[in-house]
Amino acid sequence: MAATKPNKLGQLLLKRKLLTEEQLLEAVQQQAVTGRFLGSLLLERGWVRPDQLLEVLGEQYRLPVTRLGEDAVERSAVAALPLKVAMHFRVMPLRVRNGTLIVAITNPQDVRLADELRASLQERYQIETVLTTEADIEQALKRHYGVGAETISALVKEPKAEEGPLRLSVGDEAAVEDIEQLATDASVVKLVNQLILEAHRRRATDIHLEPYRGKVRLRYRIDGVLRTVDVPPTIRQLFPAILSRIKVLSNLDIMERRLPQDGRASVKVGEEKLDLRISVLPTPAGESLVVRILPNRMLLELKDLGFRQEDVALLTTLADAPHGLLFVTGPTGSGKTTTLYAMLKTINTEIRKIITIEDPVEYEMEGLTQVQINPQIGLTFAQGLRSMLRHDPDVMMVGEVRDVETAELAIRIALTGHLVFSTLHTNDAATGITRLVDMGVPPYLVVSSVECFIAQRLVRVLCPTCKQEAPAQPGVGRRAFRAVGCDACQQTGYFGRICIYELLRLTEPIKDLIMGKASSDAIWRKAIESGMRTMQQDGWEKVAQGLTTAEEVLRVTQDDEIVRVTGDEDAS
């Protein structure tokens, strides 16, 4: 419990030279007007850091201080303190020891807190308090009680044993009507907002809500990897209302539960606008929901994506050419569109007319004319390309080449004095060439129009706060680092992603092989002989630079037979 304070907070901060007398005077004057806690005012102004304030408060009130990491909270403590109590007092239970419940608090001035907590508990515990930061409390409440737990608790009453899980039949019109009304309820709206906001805060690109028999699983895709998010089990009762709310947002049919549906919506987070792509898929346990979060604006440069300086210069030169065709290849989610937009950004000036046709339009960029395809009304990539030509473009970007008609159109447009960017779904750069030929594009059109193929994958970047040097692994180089995990990276050891890539230019030897309809393996070997670095070699170089780990490189690439054949394992 809080002890008497021997010194005032401001004097302790001055003594430690964490605050100036002018700053303290201004904050005290504001405190006199607002009646707020002095520490909160100092944090708002950025004059002290949370950890500095925490340490001084611990000294002032003679309380132990702690930071709430993954292992700081025991399940027995969470079970001892009901959700409503923890949320109401904004405290976090940590441990139970010999009849004493140890609770983390943020306001040591509340001398009645321990008594009020004790009175709120069903079992009798003595209360012992330790100090922590408000941010730690918020994260711990979400981690151990679940995202949106407070809202779910307010909405849901525990079902009686004989009621069983909530079930809706397809023809249950009354239930559908109730769900539709609940979907506009302020608390359900708040809960959906919390799920989206928390996903954005954690840098998630996708939200997965998956129903199973008697439960619902929530997962966020963060840095390309799915992570399960704790939610209260009672969310199962609210799942139909959550689903209906998201359907309402994206103009989908809330009564249709037998067919897949796709929609889109836009939300605003602070000053940032987010585009949402919603996909609903029927399953035996209910409809499964995936929400893709697309930032409205993309400000990355090529150098920020992981391209070496010499390749940035080359791509900038190719992007500035008056005509030609550049392909970026890779599977879904490998960052192809981001790379294309980074290249477009380098040439987006007033003297160029740039038009894109995509499915969907993922980023908004001022200065570009952006078109989204709609096959239901006949607006395909091929039809869009024909129409775009009548708008006098200098540069065109085609979201994806899916068929021979689109491929030949893009190539012929490049041959008539336009610069064209596009993507293909292939595993490596050399396979992009044979893919075009297999589609039915004549080899002579490929060699006369295409400038280069870039194949890429995304690997997670080591968290700069907690990464540690580790023994080097064979083929990686002399230096290597390992992922550790901290609060900054949500205990994953990684923060953000970067691309590993290979860049294949169509040199004369490569063009000769294409005209001879050589295999992709033969083209790849010739490109290696000409100096191309494979994706895996680029990955090993980034491992040696301390940007990522060998596990990440191996996760997204296959064993590189060419590297072994050429004996180039230690290139990095």
What is the DSSP annotation of 454-483?
A: EEEEEEEEEPTTT-EEEPPPTTT-S-EEE-
CB distance 168 to 40 below 8 Å: no
- 95 burial level (CB within 10 Å; 0-12, 13-18, 19+): middle
Distance CA 301, CA 314 (A): 14
* Residue ranges in the chain modelled with pLDDT below 50: 1-7, 158-180, 183, 560-572
Copy the structure tokens of residue 193.
Answer: 């907002």
- What integer pLDDT is reported at residue 481 of this predicted model? 87
Vertex 566, ends 515 and 506: CA angle to 5°?
A: 30
Angstrom CA distances, 526 to 27, 329, 532, 533, stand at: 69, 19, 9, 12
E strands in 284-407: 286-295, 324-329, 354-358, 368-372, 395-398
Cβ contacts of residue 201 below 8 Å, gap of 6+?
none
CA dihedral 16, 22, 23, 24 (to 10 degrees): 70
CB distance 146 to 231 below 8 Å: yes
- What integer pLDDT is reported at residue 158 of this predicted model? 44
- 329 burial level (CB within 10 Å; 0-12, 13-18, 19+): buried
List phi, psi (to 5°) of 98: 50, 50
Distance CA 164, CA 250 (A): 31
Distance CA 335, CA 173 (A): 44
- What integer pLDDT is reported at residue 299 of this predicted model? 62
Cis peptide before 393 (omega within 30 of 0): no
Angstrom CA distances, 53 to 13, 154, 287, 395, stand at: 8, 33, 47, 55
Distance CA 170, CA 240 (A): 12
Q: Which helix (H) or strand (E) holds 58?
A: helix 50-61
Neighbours of 54 (CB within 10 A): 21
E strands in 284-388: 286-295, 324-329, 354-358, 368-372
CA of residue 37 relative to chain centroid, distance: 35
Among candidates 410, 424, 485, which has minimal Cα distance to 454?
Answer: 424
Residue 107 DSSP label: -
Which amino acid belongs to residue 123? E
Copy the structure tokens of residue 170.
Answer: 């397809």
Among candidates 245, 186, 427, which has minimal Cα distance to 329?
Answer: 427
Threshold 0.85, pTM exceeds? no
Distance CA 400, CA 298 (A): 19
Vertex 113, ends 10 and 123: CA angle to 5°?
A: 150
- What integer pLDDT is reported at residue 296 of this predicted model? 67
Helix axes of 309-319 and 336-347: crossing angle, nearest 10 degrees: 70
- What integer pLDDT is reported at residue 363 of this predicted model? 80
- What integer pLDDT is reported at residue 452 of this predicted model? 95
Vertex 568, ends 564 and 572: CA angle to 5°?
A: 130
Distance CA 422, CA 500 (A): 19
- What integer pLDDT is reported at residue 572 of this predicted model? 37
Copy the structure tokens of residue 500.
Answer: 């590993």
Distance CA 250, CA 479 (A): 49
- What integer pLDDT is reported at residue 446 of this predicted model? 94
- What integer pLDDT is reported at residue 16 of this predicted model? 84
CA of residue 384 relative to chain centroid, distance: 31
Distance CA 221, CA 212 (A): 19
pLDDT digits (tens, 9 = 90+) for 458-491: 999 999 988 888 876 665 556 788 888 887 888 8
Number of residues written out for the chain: 572
CB distance 381 to 398 below 8 Å: yes
Torsion sign over Cα 516, 518, 520, 523: negative
CB distance 65 to 55 below 8 Å: yes
- Most distant CA atoms of the chain, gap in Å: 87
Long-range pairs for 256-261: beta carbons < 8 A, 24 or more residues apart: 257/170, 257/282, 257/286, 257/287, 258/170, 258/282
Distance CA 369, CA 348 (A): 11
